[in-house]
């Protein structure tokens, strides 16, 4: 008697994959949806759904000068850090891949060093190093920008390296040189457009991480330069609806920024 064929046909496999993907998406979205719904609720106790909906928590949040100041500081820190990181890391990756390909292995080791030291340990060392002396920047946003640069290095280098591995870098530059372009011009007009998606992904990942970073910000600057995450920590004793509105605003802002960047990349 022939054995039964237990393998699924292609339509069944596709349906199975869609179901599993949908379940994973629902599982990931449930906490975000619950936080968003809680931020709009007037009161949510033992019932399945909130008793009512309101915008008062968002109005209270976005009318708070302290929140607006903290939000602006976080944006300033993130944008300045990403600008410096792009100006430094992008030419660095290009130089390694084009001029010094033998250094790729060494760079793979160096970029993971920022994760080898716990943030608390490195923060204490940075405070002792920059508390006084020729560069007393402890407690200022500049020490935070310098620290965040070391954090963005692994994200940006890895994403840009993957993008450069997918393009014929030497052939593109040789063709540009034959057409009369210099190396710098060829880098800007030929190489950068070919790796723009990798650059965009690295910037979005770095921004999301820096915008929500708390440990370095709390230890290095604290309330002397209150960022968004420090503000959220200081307001933890207030209404849960208020803090949920803050977290929801953070997610919505990140989502809008991602959509804008994706649209611009097209």
Task: Read off the pLDDT of residues 173-184 as tens digits, 9 standing for 90 and up.
Answer: 989 888 888 889
Per the structure, the count of domains in the chain is 2
**Is 2 inside any structural domain?**
no
Average pLDDT estimate for 34-42: 85
pLDDT bucket at 1, cuts 50 / 70 / 90: very low
> Looking at residue 182, what is its pLDDT?
87
What rounded mean pLDDT belongs to the chain? Answer: 85
> Looking at residue 74, what is its pLDDT?
92
Looking at the fold, whether 97 and 193 belong to one and the same domain comes out as yes
Residues 128 and 117: their CA atoms lie apart, in Å, by: 16
Query: In Å, how far are 50, 95, 151, 226, 232 from 60, measured between CA atoms?
Result: 19, 50, 33, 19, 14
**Is 43 inside any structural domain?**
yes
Looking at the fold, whether 227 and 98 belong to one and the same domain comes out as yes
**Is 4 inside any structural domain?**
no
Looking at the fold, whether 42 and 161 belong to one and the same domain comes out as no
Residues 256 and 196: their CA atoms lie apart, in Å, by: 19
Looking at the fold, whether 202 and 89 belong to one and the same domain comes out as yes
Cβ–Cβ < 8 Å for 57, 244: yes
> Looking at residue 9, what is its pLDDT?
64
In this model, does residue 6 exceed pLDDT 50? no
Looking at the fold, whether 47 and 63 belong to one and the same domain comes out as no
**Is 3 inside any structural domain?**
no
Cβ–Cβ < 8 Å for 161, 97: yes
**Is 5 inside any structural domain?**
no
Q: Alpha-carbon torsion 68, 45, 48, 54, what sign?
A: negative
- Give the DSSP letter of residue 189: I
More confident residue, 17 or 77: 77
Give residue 41's domain range.
11-53
Look up tokens 């629902």; give the residue.
Answer: 26
Average pLDDT estimate for 20-43: 86
Taking 3-state DSSP, the helix, strand and coil percentages for the chain, each rounded to the nearest 5, stand at 75, 0, 25
Looking at the fold, whether 156 and 186 belong to one and the same domain comes out as yes
Looking at the fold, whether 49 and 181 belong to one and the same domain comes out as no
> Can you give the length of the chain in residues?
266
In this model, does residue 195 exceed pLDDT 60? yes
């Amino acid at each position: 008697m022939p054995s039964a064929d237990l393998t699924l046909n292609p339509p069944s496999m596709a349906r199975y994959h869609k179901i599993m993907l949908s379940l994973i998406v629902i599982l990931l979205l449930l906490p975000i949806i619950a936080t968003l719904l809680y931020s709009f609720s007037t009161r949510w106790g033992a019932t399945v759904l909130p008793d009512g909906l309101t915008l008062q928590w968002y109005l209270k949040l976005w009318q708070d000068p302290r929140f607006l100041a903290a939000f602006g500081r976080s944006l300033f820190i993130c944008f300045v850090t990403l600008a410096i990181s792009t100006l430094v890391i992008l030419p660095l990756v290009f130089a390694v891949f084009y001029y010094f390909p033998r250094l790729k292995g060494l760079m793979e080791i160096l970029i993971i060093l920022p994760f080898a030291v716990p943030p608390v340990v490195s923060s204490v060392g940075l405070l002792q190093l920059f508390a006084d002396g020729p560069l007393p920047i402890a407690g200022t946003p500049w020490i935070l920008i310098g620290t965040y640069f070391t954090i963005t290095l692994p994200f940006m280098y890895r994403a840009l390296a993957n993008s450069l591995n997918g393009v014929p870098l030497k052939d593109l530059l040789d063709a540009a040189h034959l057409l009369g372009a210099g190396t710098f011009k060829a880098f800007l007009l030929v190489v950068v457009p070919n790796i723009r998606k990798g650059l965009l992904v690295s910037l979005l990942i770095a921004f999301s991480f820096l915008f929500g970073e708390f440990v370095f910000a709390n230890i290095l600057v604290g309330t002397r330069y209150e960022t968004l995450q420090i503000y959220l920590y200081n307001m933890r004793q207030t209404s849960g609806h208020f803090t949920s509105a803050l977290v929801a605003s953070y997610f919505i802002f990140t989502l809008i920024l991602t959509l804008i960047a994706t649209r611009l990349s097209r």
